[in-house]
Amino acid sequence: MKPQTSRPSRLGSPELTAQGLRKVGYLPNERIASVVYLGEQLAKPVLVEGPAGTGKTELAKSIAQMTGMRLIRLQCYEGLDEAKALYEWNYKKQLLRIQAGQANGQSGLTEAAWSDLESDIFSEEFLLSRPLLTAIRAPEPVVLLIDEVDRLEVETEALLLEVLSDYQVSIPELGTITATQTPLVFLTSNNSRELSEALKRRCLYLYIDYPSVEREKEIVASRVPGIGERLAAQVSGLVHSLREIDLKKRPSVSETIDLANTLFLLGAEEITPQLAVDTLHVLLKYQSDIEKAAAELTTGSRT
Amino acid sequence: MDVSLAAFVAELRAIGLPVSVSENVDAAAAVAVMPMVDRASLKSALAATLVKNSDHYGAFELVFDVFFGGRRIGADAQAGQAADGPATDAAAADGQGAGGSAAGSGRSVVAMLSDAELADLLLRAVLTGDQMLIRAVAAEAVTRYAGFEPGRAVAGVYYLYRTLRQLDLDALLERLLALADSAGLPEMDRRLAGDDYRRRVDAVHTEVEAEIRRRLVADRGAEAVAGTLRRPLPEDADFLHASQEQLVAIRQAVQLLGRKLAARLARRRRHQRRSALDFRRTVRRSLSTGGVPVDLVFRKPHPAKPEIMLIADISSSVAAFATFTLQLAYSIRSEFSRVRSFVFVDGIEEVTGIFETAPDIAAVTQHINSGTIAVRLDGHSDYGTVLETFWDQWGPQVRKRTSVIVLGDARSNYLASRSWVLKSIRQRARHLYWLNPEPAYTWDTGDSIVSEYAEHCDKMVECRNLRQLREFVEALD
């Protein structure tokens, strides 16, 4: 157990975190700000989960922008392996080095020459650093974003564990490389599968749901400059009501912004039911969803 | 603080949340570094360290409310009122005693209002969205209507019922909607206002519930109340005995589970076996490393997908279970070459078509529950006849790649079992499974003939909740 009280904080307090995020255009709720602050204080990665399009990736980017730290991003996908996530030896360069040695007349390799060569080709010069190692080796503090971690296979997930809990990477030929500056780590997941207990245990957990009507209205107002107060309120109210219908894919925040933009460009002052039905395709991407929502909107208010 | 944190974690574990020792330590550390501005800070700190699954958040919230429900931290406004809670409740219940007592300032004003005035006040509070006022009215309503009896070990359901009967939230909503109608707003605004009011009235409901919980806690202590409020997590709730709201929670959980299982099955299928070396591509790739085959390339496996036939008992006793299983099967149907489903009570019918044309699972359930299909005589399940009919009509379509899954409690109402049908199915099909929603200790009691059928199945599985259902599907191949 590391001593974890009164570390000098780069973020200050949850309050200051929230203010900083607002300044760079990300409107956090109280929980988001608190968990981000805690992650930094406890030197623990933050696992961010939630429906698509609620600003999970955006959060990490905004933190980087707010603190002026470099953002290192590892995009996860099925089939990602050590060589692409951690580090890789530069085979081609190593081969060249051996062949160059042979050309120089060392054809009859003695025992000593070989061990020289071996320690030479397994030195840092021949190491290709991938995102995780880059983040660990960085001399300045960085933000590490591990995006869509649920796309990894369960077995591959394990290679993250050492980095996440101890901020170090073990390379058999070189030894262990430990971070000098604790990076701020964010993992995002769309919840398409259950992540392993081991991974969850090492992280703080933050679930970002669809924002409340008021917060979404603020988001719309800040992302679509010039939009009227009334239109913004209507857009967020409409989207919120649509999310309560049982749809295949609920409209995300980015789609709310798209709708607000569309209406703003159309020069609409307010949404009429007809206009709402006409612009539904901005929000909903399945024909069956559109039909359902349109039916809901045209039948008049529910009782 | 530390004492109550330990009790809090113990309660979370009792509900079934997997809280490890290291997470418990993290929670303590988080509480230490977090500036405690208000109750929400504590909640965020605990939630981030203790709850690692969004499905469990609701359960966490309930326990949090019981343990830290506004008495100890940030209870400034309610402090006076909180302290005299149960004591004046008793007095208020049999008369106008509360008004005379030296209660908190907000309380005494509210307490002098008549019932109708209280309803008006609530209407105003909801209209303006004044949380403090709503809270005060909810507190007063509980005092007046709940008939709180200190010392009784109850979960407060009856108090809630009595309070809400008097407070009449439906009438409140009606009045709000009438206001919106008469305000002459454009149609869209009216609709949105209506939806907004519905949410606000729901919030009043929640507030009343919370208030009753706070009184229970003040009366008997957090740990005792948490014990009586304990409810299983959605994945542990028994299909056959779930309450209405649990059924809703299960339905949502099934959707999510379907998505996760589909992803997992697809992945496993692709990675299950190492396939043969792709010699040509390996040699081609080795050219970039001077002819040394550093990276080996394998052929992509293309395994065949299995076919599934589901035969589900939808008689009233097990209908909920059948619906969830069918729903799950359909949400992962992309992972099978074909899913066919049959439902039966005492007659059997194929419903595959309904699933394919219906817009969503609700429509399917409605259709199945309409009671016109799969019933031949009296609506008591008759396994023997049903199995025989299935074999006569669809038997020839059971093939080597087909897995047959029967869903039901194997309670035959003392009719003939005809278990030879299962034997024939098993000879022809790849697998024959039986999922039974009854607890294993009740098998073979009464008219249950589980063991007679189990003899012919590859597996007879107890499947009472989502967790067991999930385990079964994960092991499926």
CATH code that applies to domain B246-272+304-475: 3.40.50.410
Of B177, B169, B162, B171, nearest to B205 by C-alpha is B169
How close A177 gets to chain B, by Cα (Å)?
25
A237–B196 CB contact, under 8 Å: yes
- A6 contact residues in B (CB cutoff 8 A): 33
- B194 contact residues in A (CB cutoff 8 A): 301-302
What is the average pLDDT score of chain B? Answer: 77
Q: What average pLDDT score do residues B85-113 get?
A: 46
Does residue B4 sit in helix, strand or coil? Answer: helix
Is residue A259 a part of any domain in this protein? Answer: yes
Find all residues with CB under 8 Å of A1, minimum gap 6, and list them: B25
B48–A238 CB contact, under 8 Å: no
pLDDT of residue B80: 39
Q: What average pLDDT score do residues B125-140 get?
A: 81
Q: What is the CATH number of the domain that holds A160?
A: 3.40.50.300
A42–B289 CB contact, under 8 Å: no
Do residues A279 and A293 both lie within one domain?
yes
Is residue A263 a part of any domain in this protein? Answer: yes
Q: What average pLDDT score do residues A153-159 get?
A: 82
Q: Is the model's pLDDT at A83 over the cut of 90?
A: no
Give the nearest chain A residue to B31 (CA atoms): A38
Do residues A230 and A271 both lie within one domain?
yes
Q: What are the extents of the domains in chain B?
A: 2-68, 79-231, 246-272+304-475, 276-301
pLDDT of residue A8: 62
Q: Is the model's pLDDT at B2 over the cut of 50?
A: yes
- B358 contact residues in A (CB cutoff 8 A): none
pLDDT of residue A105: 63
By CB neighbour count within 10 A (0-12 exposed, 13-18 middle, 19+ buried), where does B370 fall? exposed
pLDDT of residue B27: 92
- B47 contact residues in A (CB cutoff 8 A): 31, 205
**For A28-68, how does the pLDDT look when each residue is reduced to its tens digit (9 = 90+)?**
988 999 999 999 999 999 999 988 888 899 999 999 999 99
A270–B188 CB contact, under 8 Å: yes
Do residues A168 and A274 both lie within one domain?
no
A38–B34 CB contact, under 8 Å: yes
> Looking at per-residue confidence, does B86 or B129 come out higher?
B129
* pTM score of the predicted model: 0.75
> Looking at per-residue confidence, does B233 or B433 come out higher?
B433
CA distance B93 to B444: 52
**Amino acid identity of A296?**
E
- B22 contact residues in A (CB cutoff 8 A): 201
pLDDT of residue B189: 77
Q: Is the model's pLDDT at B312 over the cut of 50?
A: yes
- B186 contact residues in A (CB cutoff 8 A): 270, 272
Judged by average pLDDT, the poorest of B24-38, B58-72, B389-403 is: B58-72
Q: Which of A207, A232, A253 is the last residue of a domain?
A: A207
Q: What average pLDDT score do residues B274-301 get?
A: 81
Do residues A21 and A158 both lie within one domain?
yes
Can you read off the two tokens belonging to residue B371?
């009671």
How close B3 gets to chain A, by Cα (Å)?
20
Do residues A76 and A155 both lie within one domain?
yes
What's the domain count of chain A?
3
pLDDT of residue B75: 37
Closest by Cβ to A238, choosing from B33, B192, B263: B192
CA distance B3 to B17: 19
Q: What average pLDDT score do residues A264-272 get?
A: 84
Q: Quote ipTM for the complex.
A: 0.84
Residue with tokens 């605990």: B46
H/E stretch holding A85: helix A82-85
CA distance B436 to B239: 11
How would residue B152 be classed by pLDDT, with cut points 50, 70 and 90? confident
Is residue A42 a part of any domain in this protein? Answer: yes
B44–A92 CB contact, under 8 Å: no
**For B342-372, how does the pLDDT look when each residue is reduced to its tens digit (9 = 90+)?**
888 888 888 887 777 765 666 666 666 666 6
> Looking at per-residue confidence, does A203 or B159 come out higher?
A203
Q: What average pLDDT score do residues B151-165 get?
A: 79
How close A296 gets to chain B, by Cα (Å)?
11
Closest by Cβ to B41, choosing from A34, A200, A300: A34
A207–B57 CB contact, under 8 Å: yes
> Looking at per-residue confidence, does B296 or A16 come out higher?
A16
B191–A301 CB contact, under 8 Å: yes
pLDDT of residue A241: 86
Closest by Cβ to B49, choosing from A204, A241, A297: A204
Percentage of the residues of chain B whose pLDDT score is greater than 90: 4
pLDDT of residue B474: 75
Do residues A107 and A190 both lie within one domain?
no
B47–A205 CB contact, under 8 Å: yes
- B32 contact residues in A (CB cutoff 8 A): 4-5
Q: What average pLDDT score do residues B208-222 get?
A: 82
> Looking at per-residue confidence, does B340 or A2 come out higher?
B340
Do residues A137 and A266 both lie within one domain?
no
How would residue B107 be classed by pLDDT, with cut points 50, 70 and 90? low
Query: Over the range B146-177, which residues count as b (16 or more CB within 10 Å of their CB) and which as e?
Result: bebeeeeeebbeebbebbbeebebeebbebbb
Mutate to test the interface with B, among A6, A11, A38, A155 (most CBs of B within 10 A): A38
Do residues A142 and A43 both lie within one domain?
yes
Is residue A115 a part of any domain in this protein? Answer: yes
Do residues A82 and A103 both lie within one domain?
no
| CA count, 13 A, side-chain hemisphere, B370 | 8
pLDDT of residue B270: 64
Do residues A143 and A71 both lie within one domain?
yes
Residues spanned by the domain of A104: 88-126
Give the nearest chain A residue to B177 (CA atoms): A303
Find all residues with CB under 8 Å of A26, minimum gap 6, and list them: A55, A58, A59, A62
Of A85, A64, A74, A60, nearest to A169 by C-alpha is A85
pLDDT of residue B268: 65
**Amino acid identity of B179?**
L
pLDDT of residue B356: 72
CA distance B386 to B417: 10
Q: Is the model's pLDDT at A4 over the cut of 50?
A: no
pLDDT of residue A47: 94
| B411: DSSP letter | B
As beta bridge partners, residue A70 has A142
How close B192 gets to chain A, by Cα (Å)?
6
Closest by Cβ to B188, choosing from A13, A78, A272: A272
Angle at A62 (CA atoms; ends B55, B37), nearest 5 degrees: 65
Judged by average pLDDT, the poorest of A257-271, B20-34, B109-123 is: B109-123
- A91 contact residues in B (CB cutoff 8 A): 289, 294
Number of inter-chain CB pairs under 8 A, A vs B? 128
Do residues A41 and A140 both lie within one domain?
yes
Do residues A148 and A183 both lie within one domain?
yes
By CB neighbour count within 10 A (0-12 exposed, 13-18 middle, 19+ buried), where does B66 fall? buried
- A100 contact residues in B (CB cutoff 8 A): none
Judged by average pLDDT, the poorest of A87-91, A164-168, B412-416 is: B412-416
pLDDT of residue B81: 41
A31–B47 CB contact, under 8 Å: yes
Q: What's the length of chain A?
A: 303
**For A274-298, how does the pLDDT look when each residue is reduced to its tens digit (9 = 90+)?**
888 888 888 888 888 888 888 887 7
How would residue A144 be classed by pLDDT, with cut points 50, 70 and 90? very high
pLDDT of residue B377: 64
**For B36-91, how does the pLDDT look when each residue is reduced to its tens digit (9 = 90+)?**
878 888 899 999 999 988 888 888 888 888 888 755 333 333 433 433 434 333 33
Q: What average pLDDT score do residues B402-408 get?
A: 86
Can you read off the two tokens belonging to residue B430?
């790849």
